[in-house]
Amino acid sequence: MAPIIRIEDLHYTYPHEGGAVQALRGIDLTIEQGEYVVLLGHNGSGKSTLAKHLNALLLPTQGDVWINGWNTKERRHLREIRSTVGMVFQQPDNQIVATIVEEDVAFGPENLGVERREIQRRIEWSLQRVDMLPFRHRAPHLLSGGQKQRICIAGVLAMQPSVLVLDEATAMLDPIGRQEVLEVARRLNREEGVTIVAVTHFMREATEADRVIVLHEGKIALQGPPRAIFQQIDQLRALSLDVPHVSELAQALHRRFPTFPPDLLTPQEIATAVITCCNGNQASLQRRGEQKKEGSEVRDEGRATKKGDFAPSAPRSSSLAPLLSLCGVAHYYMRGTPLEVKAIEDINIEVHRGEIIGVIGHTGSGKSTAIQHFNGLLKAHEGEVRVLGQNLADPNVDLRAVRRAVGLVFQTPEAQLFEQYVGDDIAYGPRKQGLGPEEVRARVRRAMEAVGLPFEEYKDRITFGLSGGQMRRVAIAGVLALEPQVLVLDEPTAGLDPQARRQLMRHILDLHKQGVTLVIISHNMEELAEICHRIYVIAEGRTVMAGTPAEVFSRASELRAIGLDAPDMTQVAEALKAQGLLPADVVIYTLEQAEAAIAELLLARGAVLAETAAGGQAR
């Protein structure tokens, strides 16, 4: 059978004022009907450009793309090609065109000229496939992010495509929203035979693919099954990527215990391998090198890292009075109208000087609404907001001074940029404060250096010619130029590739070392587990949990019940506890903790890894 997608010598060049940009450089690729393929790559590697060639949104500058035998350059086949390949993009709000769910799902088939009775059948079938049939008469804007994305998938399915392309479709979703979308994709692939091509930065999402394709600088750098790809830690990091924490743990254990399987992909596979070891019959454990206990150095294929690569430093002050506090805060949108909605109703958060505070919650939980009270962008309708000792309900409070002290960076900070040149955008705030040219220049320089953008190299760059990660750093620098005491960041690393994410987090933590107090909203549990002093959990507009990372992630089942998830290493520990191999009161949430605990467990049990397990798979 001929492949459903065939690509030969594909080149693509974007026209650009400063000169053409070559995005793809000779791609050769075939994808078979029914395959599940994941595209990985750094920001700007060409993933989305390649995806847009699959349904002729873009046409090759050189080379050819065939979809089910049709060449995308032949415009007479455009309808057949776009009926064959459906695309779902990162932002569901940009794809929804109707005010009622079922009307939005009907939009595609109507444009294909499908008769009304068949459209009704397809609406019911596609909504049922994504578990959204009960919402057919709802307004899309009242749905959660995960639900909106499922509606977008239903709209594509209603056109009955043979191929579903997900272009960063889960990037802005919370853990449960990501799981919802991925489960729909897996079910369509398994039960309906739909070919899936998924573009993502989430390494964990690639573990269930049939094949992983890694792009770098517009070329295919690596491809193969996930087990083989994720063993190549050094090569992936050289390509600005990373590996799932579970894969990293398996390989760390393999280095210490040479017969431990190095190619594991899920927490359950780790637990199964450990159980196999603990049930071994021999009396000793083969181990490479000197035995080391918890806290020892771990080497990632020649790259030495200490426990807690992003471990937070201690708070700079133990002052009893918080810098910021929300006490019983409630806020209504469209208050006093028939469309009034109570967005939050009992938010309680305290932030002390020098802390790094994490805020987590499902999409629509009220996180972003809550943090906008910290600098008076929103006013509390109930409860009390105090900032730097001042009650923001006091009409005499200088809100400009509050906003200089508490800088807020929104979820898509690149949307905050508006000046043509980088330096001018960062200088906007200080100029509005009435500062002189020399002081403005000094502040811009300090802010740019703080986020890793050399002043002389970037100040005259065109703002919108930067990469996504660079634009995000410019937006943060614009807030830093106001020299705030507190920096509040709403999903600062969402949509960035692993290397850009690591770089940005290092710069953010450098700010903390310089005395800036941090409040960070994120859906990345591993990230917050490593860097935060305390974490607040918000659900349905209320603060439902608070504590250290250990305290919060020890309640993994409660987190799942409210649509969140625990770090992968916590899931590994849970699987081992379920088998009675770890004490119930042990809390694990970092890679180093998991490695140390499992190594100690194996040694204590006097287990041995059977030689036949070397390089094998635990299933």
| pLDDT surpasses 90 at 373 | yes
State the distance between the two ends of the chain, measured CA to CA, in whole angstroms: 31
What does the DSSP 8-state code read for residue 462?
B
What pLDDT, on a 0 to 100 scale, did the predictor assign at position 124? Answer: 93
In this prediction, residue 289 carries a pLDDT of 33
- pLDDT at res. 171: 74
pLDDT of res. 20: 76
Residue 592 located in a structural domain: yes
Type of residue found at 104: D
Nearest CA among 134, 175, 174, 168 for reference residue 151 = 134
Q: Which of 563, 510, 572, 514 is nearest to 539 (CA)?
A: 563
> Are residues 130 and 266 both part of a single domain?
no
Q: What pLDDT, on the 0 to 100 scale, is given for residue 277?
A: 80
Q: Of the residues 229, 259, 294, which one is the last residue of a structural domain?
A: 229
Mean pLDDT, residues 586-602: 91
Position 233 pLDDT exceeds 60: yes
- What is the sign, positive or negative, of the torsion defined by CA atoms of 218, 221, 224, 228? negative
**Same domain for 220 and 252?**
no
pLDDT band at 505 (very low <50, low <70, confident <90, very high): confident
C-alpha dihedral, 464 to 465 to 469 to 474, nearest 10°: -50
In this structure, are 289 and 170 located in the same domain? no
pLDDT higher than 50, residue 609 = no
Mean of pLDDT values over 597-605: 86
Are 546 and 580 members of one domain?
no
Distance separating alpha carbons of residues 256 and 444, to the nearest angstrom: 48
Q: Which range, 313-327, 461-475, 500-514, 533-547, is most confident?
A: 533-547
Q: Look at residue 316 and tell me if it is in a domain.
A: no
pLDDT confidence of residue 611: 36
Confidence of residue 168 (pLDDT cuts 50, 70, 90): confident
**pLDDT of res. 311:** 54
Domain span holding position 609:
245-308+569-613
pLDDT value at 608 more than 70: no
546: enclosing H helix or E strand: strand 542-547
- Asked if 548 and 575 sit in the same domain, the reply is no
What's the gap between Cα 432 and its chain centre? 34
Residues 426 and 332 in one domain: yes
Predicted confidence (pLDDT) per residue in 175-201, tens digit: 777 787 888 889 889 998 999 999 998
Question: What value does the mean pLDDT take over residues 366-390?
Answer: 93
| Whether the predicted pLDDT of 307 surpasses 80 | no
pLDDT at 327: 97
Residue 237 forms part of a structural domain: no
Same domain, 505 and 588: no
Instruction: Among 229, 254, 288, give the residue marking a domain's end.
Output: 229
What is the average per-residue pLDDT within 367-393? Answer: 93
pLDDT in tens, 59-110: 999 999 999 999 999 999 998 998 899 998 877 888 899 999 999 999 999 9
The whole-chain average pLDDT of the chain stands at 85
User: Are 369 and 518 members of one domain?
Assistant: yes
For the residues 357-384, what does the mean pLDDT come to? 91
pLDDT, tens digit, 9 for 90 and up, residues 532-577: 999 999 999 999 999 999 999 999 889 988 888 888 899 999 989 9
Q: In this model, does residue 281 exceed pLDDT 50?
A: no
For the purposes of burial, counting CB atoms within 10 Å of the CB of 560, is it exposed (0-12), middle (13-18) or buried (19 or more)? middle
Contact 483, 403 (CB under 8 A): no
Residue 428 lies in a domain: yes
Residue 578 has pLDDT above 50, yes or no: yes
Q: Is residue 162 part of a domain?
A: yes
- Given 3-state DSSP classes, what are the helix, strand and coil percentages for the chain, each rounded to the nearest 5? 40, 20, 40
Instruction: Give tens-digit pLDDT for 520-539.
Output: 998 888 889 989 999 999 99
**Contact yes or no for 382/328 (Cβ under 8 A):** yes
Is 205 part of any domain?
yes
CB 96 within 8 A of CB 151: yes
Q: pLDDT tens digits, residue range 407-434?
A: 998 877 667 888 999 999 999 999 988 8
Q: What is the CATH number of the domain that holds 407?
A: 3.40.50.300
Which tokens belong to 344?
Answer: 């939050």
Residue 319 lies in a domain: no
The label of the residue with tokens 């280095």 reads 255
Q: Is the pLDDT of residue 344 over 50?
A: yes
Residue 519 has pLDDT above 90, yes or no: yes
Quick one: which of 186, 205, 204 has its CA closest to 196? 186
Residues 377 and 459 reside in one and the same domain: yes
Q: Within this chain, do residues 255 and 391 fall inside the same structural domain, yes or no?
A: no
Please write the tens of the pLDDT for every residue from 13-65: 988 655 678 899 999 999 999 999 999 998 788 998 999 999 999 999 999 99
- Total number of domains in the chain: 3
Q: Looking at residue 614, what is its pLDDT? A: 40
Stretch 217-222: mean pLDDT, rounded? 95
Is the pTM for the entire model greater than 0.85? Answer: no
Residue 618 domain-assigned (yes or no): no
Q: What is the pLDDT of residue 390?
A: 93
Find residue 62's DSSP bridge partners.
11
What percentage of the chain reaches a pLDDT higher than 90? 50
- Exposure of 249 in the CB half-sphere (CA atoms within 13 A): 32
Confidence of residue 396 (pLDDT cuts 50, 70, 90): very high
Residue 374 has pLDDT above 90, yes or no: yes
Same domain, 195 and 296: no
Look at residue 302 in the predicted model and tell me its pLDDT. Answer: 29
pLDDT score at 298 = 28
On whether both 299 and 186 belong to a single domain, the answer is no
Two tokens at 404? 């200089």
Question: What is the predicted pLDDT for the residue at 470?
Answer: 81
d(CA 168, CA 176): 16
